[in-house]
C-alpha cells in the first residue's frame, strides 16, 4: 500500500471507472458537492467508487476533475480522469456537503510475479484485444493500444470494453495485482471471441443458404422456361399462387379488357420480382382482390310489379313514398327492356335514395325488402363513426396493410355488379385529419359520375351505375348539402297510432310470439291493450320501444305458462298491463303544464322525431331585460328577442300594461340538458309572453309552430308532418301552423287530420285571439 490521504468520495451506480479512463459524470446535488470539494481541496482529487447494494466497496479510483461543461441538451457535467487505485478505509470529516473518506493509494506493481511472466500475459491480452478491435475496424484505438507499454495501463483499458459486465469491471477494480487482472481479462476475452466467431459462422451459413436458395430459384425458373418452350410441362397444371396459375385464372375470368390488361401487367411484375421479393406478396393480394370482384356478373331484375309491391307490403306497413319509388324504378327498367333499350351499366341507370326519418321507423330493414322486390342481392355498409376517407376509396397500395374501400368490398361480398347497397347512418359520418369520408361519397352517390368510380387500391375504374344505393339518416341537416343534392330524399316521418296498431298486429306481435315459443292460441293481446302501450308506455315516432315492450309481455307470459300450464290461453287486456309492464311512463301533462299563465305549448322536431315543447315566461322585479335558459341555440335566442320586441310594440292592442314589460323577463324552455335551436318556436314565445303579461292562461289543448317576424307575420317552418304526429300523441286538439305550410298537409295521414283541428294562420294575432283563455274575473298584477 502507498500513502494515506483524505478525499471526498462520489459513489456511482451506473458505471465503473478504472485508472486511465476519462468519463463524463452528470452533476446533481450530491455529485456537485463532491466535485466542488475536490476542486477546493489541496490534492484536487476525489475518490470515485461503485455503489454496491450488499456491502461497502473496498476499492475506488482517485480521479481529478478535468473540466466542467454542459451537454447539448443543457445538462451540466464534469469530465474526470481516473488516475490511481485506492483502498477505502474509514470515514473522515471534511469541509462542505461532500462525504469524505480515508484512503490508501495502491502502488502499481507486478507483485510476486516475475516481470517476464507479466510481459507474456500482457502480450497475450494485447493480441486478443487487437483481434477484437480489428474485427470492428477501430484503427485509431488499435494505434493507441499498440503504444501502451505499461501492463497495468493496458489491463485498465478494459474499462471501455462494452462486452464486459459491470460486475466484471468491478472485479478488475478490486484486483490490484496486474498479473491476476491480465489472467481474468484473457479468460473473458477468449470467451467473447469464441461467441463472436460462432455468431459470424452462423451469419455466414445463413448468407450462404440464402444465396443457394436464390440460385435454386433462378435455375428452377430457367428450367420451367425451358420446359415451356419444349412443351413438356406436366398435365397437373401450375401450382396455386404461381405466375402460371394467375395467368390461367385471368384468362379464364370474364374481365373487362382494361382490367385484364392491368392484371396481366401485374403478373409480369410478379414474374420479374421473384418469391424472395416482399413486393410479390402485395402483387398476389392485389391480383386476388381483382379476381374476386364480380366484374361482369349481374342479376336479372324482377319485372313483376304486382309481386314486387306485394313483397314490400308484406314486409313493411305504410311507407308508400318509398314503395312507389321502387315500383317506378322497376316499371321503367321493365319498359326499357321490353323495347330493347336496356343497357348494361352506363350513366345514371341506377338509383340513389336517401331514407331520412327518426329511429325505429324501419329504414334499415327496408333495404332488404327492396332487394327482395327487385330480385337483387343485398349488402349493408355501416358508416356510423367512419372518419377515414380511405374507408370509402381504399388505401394506396404503397401502404402496409392496404386494402380496398368499403364500396369495393360490398360489391365483392354481394357477388354482382348490381346489388342493393345500404349505406347505413350516413348522417353520422365524421371527418378529421385523415380526410372527409362524406366528400369521398360524392362520386359514389352521383348517378352521373359513379360509372367510373376509382378505388385507390384497385387503381381501376369500377362501374357503380347499376347499383341501387340506399342511404339512411336520422337528421337530414347533418348531411353535407353537396352530398344530399346527389340523392333523392324520401322522408319517413313516423307512424300514427293506427299505424302502430297495424304494425303490432301484423308484424311485431307474431314475431315476438315466435321468439318466445308461443302460439296465438296460448296468448292474445287485445287491441285496447296495444293502443294503451302505444299511447302511454311509449312516446316515439317508430316502433322499436313498442316491440321491446311486446317482447317483455311474451317473456312474462312464457314464464307464467311454464309455472302454470293450465293458465293458457292468456288474454292480456288494458287493465292487465300494470301487472306485466308496470305503470305507464307517459301521461298527458299539457293541461297541468299550462294551468298557470305564461306557459305555451309548441311543437318541435329532433333527431328522434316530433315532440311537444313547452315554453315558460315570467316577470320578476329588477333591471329591465331578457333572461333565457334551457340551453338554447343562437337562432332560438333571436326568436325570443323578436317575440319580446313584438309584444312590447303591440302592448296596447294586446291589452298589456306597459309597466309589466319594464321588469326582468325570464323565458325558460324545460329539459335544459337537451340542446335546442331553430326559429319555429317564435309564435309560441309570443303566446307565452302575452299570457304572462295579461294573466290569461293558454288553452291546454292548443299547440302551435311557426317563425314570427317583428311585425307579427308567421313564416313557414319544416317538419310539419312530424310535429302533427307529435301533437296527436300528446293529445292536443287544435294546432296552428303557418299559412304557407298548408301544402304540407297533403302528406299528413288522414286519420291525423281528422283528430286535429289544424289552423293555418298568417299573423300571430290570430293565434293569440284563440289560444288565450278569457281574462280572469278579478285582475291582479302578474309580476307583483
The reported pLDDT for the residue numbered 594 is 76
Average pLDDT over residues 706-720: 90
| Model confidence, pTM | 0.60
Distance of alpha carbon 280 from alpha carbon 145, whole angstroms = 50
Question: Given 3-state DSSP classes, what are the helix, strand and coil percentages for the chain, each rounded to the nearest 5?
Answer: 45, 20, 35
In angstroms, the first-to-last Cα distance of the chain is 105
Residue 317 has pLDDT above 70, yes or no: yes
Choosing from 723, 739, 755, 769, the catalytic residue is 723
Domain of residue 688, CATH code: 3.30.230.10
Instruction: Please name the helix (run of DSSP H) or strand (run of DSSP E) that holds residue 570, with its range, or none.
Output: strand 570-572
Shared-domain flag, residues 372 and 311? yes
Q: Please state the separation of Cα 780 from the chain's center in Å.
A: 59
The reported pLDDT for the residue numbered 702 is 93
Average pLDDT over residues 381-389: 84
Q: Using one digit for the tens of pLDDT, what is the confidence trace for 413-442?
A: 999 998 999 999 998 887 777 778 888 888
Shared-domain flag, residues 535 and 428? no
Question: Does 358 appear as a known binding residue?
Answer: yes
Question: Does 357 appear as a known binding residue?
Answer: yes
Domains in the chain: how many in total? Answer: 5
Shared-domain flag, residues 632 and 745? yes
Residue 651 has pLDDT above 60, yes or no: yes
Question: Does 19 appear as a known binding residue?
Answer: no
Residues in the chain: 784
Assess if residue 182 is contained within a domain: no
Shared-domain flag, residues 466 and 327? yes
Choosing from 152, 465, 639, 680, the catalytic residue is 680
Mark which of 105, 136, 171 sits at the end of a domain. 105
Shared-domain flag, residues 422 and 536? no
Assess if residue 120 is contained within a domain: no
Q: Please state the separation of Cα 497 from the chain's center in Å.
A: 38
Assess if residue 482 is contained within a domain: yes
The reported pLDDT for the residue numbered 459 is 87
Assess if residue 693 is contained within a domain: yes
Cell of 18: 478504472
Domain of residue 19, CATH code: 2.30.130.40
Cell of 754: 281528422
Question: Does 575 appear as a known binding residue?
Answer: no
Q: Using one digit for the tens of pLDDT, what is the confidence trace for 104-154?
A: 888 776 555 677 888 888 888 888 888 888 887 777 777 877 778 888 888
Q: Using one digit for the tens of pLDDT, what is the confidence trace for 60-114?
A: 999 998 888 888 877 888 889 998 889 888 777 777 778 888 888 887 765 556 7
Mark which of 54, 82, 105 sits at the end of a domain. 105
Q: Using one digit for the tens of pLDDT, what is the confidence trace for 534-546?
A: 888 887 888 889 9
The reported pLDDT for the residue numbered 621 is 84
Assess if residue 271 is contained within a domain: yes
Q: Tell me whether residue 637 is one of the annotated catalytic residues.
A: no
The reported pLDDT for the residue numbered 379 is 94
Assess if residue 79 is contained within a domain: yes
Select, from the ranges 125-134, 391-400, 698-707, the one with the highest average predicted confidence (pLDDT): 698-707
Mark which of 467, 491, 515 sits at the end of a domain. 491
Average pLDDT in the chain: 84
Percentage of residues in the chain having pLDDT higher than 90: 19
Assess if residue 116 is contained within a domain: no
Question: Does 705 appear as a known binding residue?
Answer: no
Average pLDDT over residues 250-255: 85
Shared-domain flag, residues 310 and 415? yes
The reported pLDDT for the residue numbered 102 is 86
Shared-domain flag, residues 358 and 433? yes
Domain of residue 372, CATH code: 3.40.50.300
Q: Tell me whether residue 680 is one of the annotated catalytic residues.
A: yes
Residue 227 has pLDDT above 80, yes or no: no
Domain range for 32: 4-105
Shared-domain flag, residues 482 and 355? yes
Shared-domain flag, residues 608 and 634? yes
- The SS3 of residue 295 is coil
Find out whether 77 and 27 touch, Cβ atoms under 8 Å: yes
Distance of alpha carbon 739 from alpha carbon 540, whole angstroms = 27
Shared-domain flag, residues 603 and 696? yes
Assess if residue 164 is contained within a domain: no
Q: Using one digit for the tens of pLDDT, what is the confidence trace for 340-352?
A: 775 544 555 677 8
The reported pLDDT for the residue numbered 557 is 92
Helices 320-338, 305-315: inter-axial angle, 10-degree rounding: 160
Find out whether 698 and 688 touch, Cβ atoms under 8 Å: yes
Average pLDDT over residues 487-515: 87
Q: Using one digit for the tens of pLDDT, what is the confidence trace for 266-283?
A: 888 887 776 667 778 888
Please provide the DSSP assignment of 307-375 as one string. HHHHHHHHH-SS-HHHHHHHHHHHHHHHHHHHTT---SS-TT-SEEEEEE--TTSSHHHHHHHHHHHHT
Shared-domain flag, residues 473 and 577? no
Shared-domain flag, residues 571 and 620? no
The reported pLDDT for the residue numbered 781 is 46
Residue 608 has pLDDT above 80, yes or no: no
Amino acid at each position: 500500500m502507498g500513502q494515506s490521504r483524505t478525499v471526498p468520495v462520489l459513489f456511482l451506480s451506473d458505471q465503473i471507472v478504472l485508472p486511465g479512463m476519462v468519463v463524463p459524470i452528470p452533476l446533481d446535488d450530491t455529485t456537485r458537492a463532491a466535485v466542488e470539494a475536490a476542486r477546493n481541496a489541496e490534492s484536487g482529487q476525489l475518490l470515485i467508487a461503485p455503489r454496491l447494494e450488499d456491502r461497502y466497496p473496498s476499492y475506488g479510483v482517485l480521479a481529478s476533475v478535468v473540466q466542467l461543461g454542459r451537454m447539448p441538451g443543457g445538462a451540466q457535467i464534469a469530465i474526470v480522469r481516473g488516475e490511481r487505485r485506492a483502498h477505502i478505509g474509514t470515514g473522515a470529516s471534511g469541509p462542505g456537503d461532500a462525504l469524505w473518506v480515508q484512503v490508501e493509494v495502491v502502488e502499481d506493481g507486478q507483485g510476486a510475479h516475475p516481470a517476464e511472466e507479466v510481459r507474456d500475459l500482457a502480450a497475450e491480452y494485447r493480441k486478443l484485444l487487437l483481434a477484437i478491435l480489428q474485427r470492428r475496424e477501430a484503427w485509431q484505438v488499435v494505434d493507441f493500444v499498440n503504444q501502451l507499454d505499461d501492463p497495468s495501463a493496458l489491463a485498465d483499458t478494459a474499462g471501455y470494453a462494452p462486452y464486459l459486465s459491470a460486475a466484471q469491471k468491478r472485479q478488475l477494480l478490486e484486483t490490484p495485482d496486474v498479473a491476476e487482472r491480465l489472467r481474468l481479462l484473457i479468460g473473458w476475452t477468449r470467451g467473447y471471441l469464441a461467441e463472436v466467431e460462432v455468431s459470424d459462422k452462423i451469419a455466414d451459413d445463413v448468407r450462404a443458404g440464402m444465396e443457394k436458395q436464390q440460385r435454386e430459384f433462378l435455375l428452377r425458373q430457367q428450367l420451367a422456361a425451358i420446359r415451356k418452350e419444349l412443351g413438356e410441362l406436366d398435365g397437373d397444371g401450375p401450382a396455386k399462387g404461381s405466375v402460371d396459375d394467375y395467368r390461367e385464372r385471368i384468362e379464364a375470368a370474364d374481365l373487362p379488357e382494361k382490367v385484364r390488361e392491368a392484371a396481366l401487367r401485374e403478373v409480369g411484375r410478379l414474374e420479374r420480382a421473384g418469391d424472395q421479393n416482399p413486393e410479390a406478396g402485395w402483387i398476389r393480394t392485389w391480383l386476388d382482390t381483382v379476381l374476386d370482384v364480380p366484374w361482369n356478373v349481374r342479376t336479372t331484375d324482377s319485372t313483376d310489379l304486382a309481386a314486387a309491391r306485394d313483397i314490400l307490403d308484406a314486409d313493411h306497413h305504410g311507407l308508400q313514398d318509398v314503395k312507389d319509388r321502387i315500383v317506378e324504378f322497376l316499371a321503367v327498367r321493365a319498359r326499357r327492356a321490353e323495347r330493347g333499350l336496356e343497357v348494361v351499366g352506363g350513366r345514371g341507370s341506377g338509383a340513389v335514395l336517401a331514407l331520412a326519418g327518426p329511429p325505429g321507423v324501419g329504414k334499415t330493414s327496408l333495404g332488404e325488402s327492396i332487394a327482395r322486390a327487385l330480385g337483387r342481392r343485398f349488402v349493408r355498409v355501416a358508416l356510423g363513426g367512419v372518419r377515414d376517407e380511405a374507408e370509402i376509396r381504399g388505401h394506396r397500395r404503397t401502404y402496409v396493410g392496404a386494402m380496398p374501400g368499403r364500396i369495393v368490398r360490398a360489391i365483392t361480398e354481394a357477388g354482382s355488379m348490381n346489388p342493393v347497397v345500404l349505406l347505413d347512418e350516413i348522417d353520422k359520418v365524421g371527418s378529421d385529419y385523415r380526410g372527409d369520408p362524406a366528400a369521398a361519397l360524392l362520386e359514389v352517390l352521383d348517378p352521373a359520375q359513379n360509372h367510373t368510380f376509382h378505388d385507390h387500391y384497385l387503381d381501376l375504374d369500377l362501374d357503380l351505375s347499376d347499383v341501387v344505393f340506399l342511404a339512411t339518416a336520422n337528421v337530414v341537416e347533418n348531411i353535407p348539402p353537396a352530398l344530399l343534392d346527389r340523392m333523392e330524399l324520401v322522408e319517413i316521418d313516423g307512424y300514427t297510432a293506427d299505424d302502430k296498431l297495424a304494425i303490432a298486429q301484423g308484424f311485431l306481435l307474431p314475431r315476438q310470439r315466435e321468439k318466445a315459443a308461443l302460439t296465438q292460441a296460448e296468448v292474445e293481446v287485445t287491441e285496447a291493450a296495444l293502443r294503451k302501450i302505444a299511447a302511454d308506455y311509449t312516446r316515439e315516432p317508430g316502433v322499436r320501444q313498442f316491440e321491446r315492450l311486446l317482447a317483455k309481455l311474451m317473456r312474462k307470459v312464457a314464464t307464467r305458462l311454464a309455472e302454470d300450464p293450465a293458465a293458457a290461453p292468456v288474454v292480456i287486456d288494458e287493465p292487465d298491463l300494470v301487472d306485466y309492464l308496470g305503470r305507464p311512463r307517459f301521461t298527458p301533462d299539457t293541461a297541468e303544464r299550462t294551468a298557470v299563465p305564461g306557459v305555451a305549448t309548441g311543437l318541435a322536431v329532433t333527431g328522434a322525431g316530433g315532440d311537444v315543447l313547452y315554453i315558460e315566461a315570467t316577470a320578476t322585479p329588477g333591471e329591465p331585460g331578457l333572461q333565457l335558459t334551457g340551453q338554447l341555440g343562437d337562432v332560438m335566442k333571436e326568436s325570443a328577442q323578436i317575440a319580446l320586441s313584438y309584444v312590447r310594440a303591440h302592448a296596447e292592442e294586446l291589452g298589456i300594461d306597459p309597466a309589466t314589460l319594464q321588469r326582468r323577463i325570464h323565458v325558460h324552455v324545460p329539459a335544459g340538458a337537451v340542446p335546442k335551436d331553430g326559429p319555429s318556436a317564435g309564435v309560441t314565445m309570443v303566446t307565452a309572453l302575452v299570457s304572462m303579461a295579461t294573466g290569461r292562461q293558454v288553452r291546454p289543448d292548443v299547440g302551435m309552430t311557426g317563425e314570427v317576424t317583428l311585425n307579427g307575420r308567421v313564416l313557414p317552418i319544416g317538419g310539419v308532418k312530424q310535429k302533427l304526429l307529435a301533437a296527436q300523441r300528446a293529445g292536443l286538439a287544435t294546432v296552428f301552423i303557418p299559412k304557407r305550410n298548408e301544402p304540407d298537409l297533403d302528406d299528413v295521414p288522414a286519420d291525423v287530420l281528422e283528430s286535429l283541428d289544424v289552423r293555418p294562420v298568417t299573423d300571430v294575432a290570430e293565434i293569440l285571439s284563440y289560444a288565450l283563455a278569457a281574462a280572469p274575473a278579478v285582475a291582479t298584477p302578474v309580476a307583483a
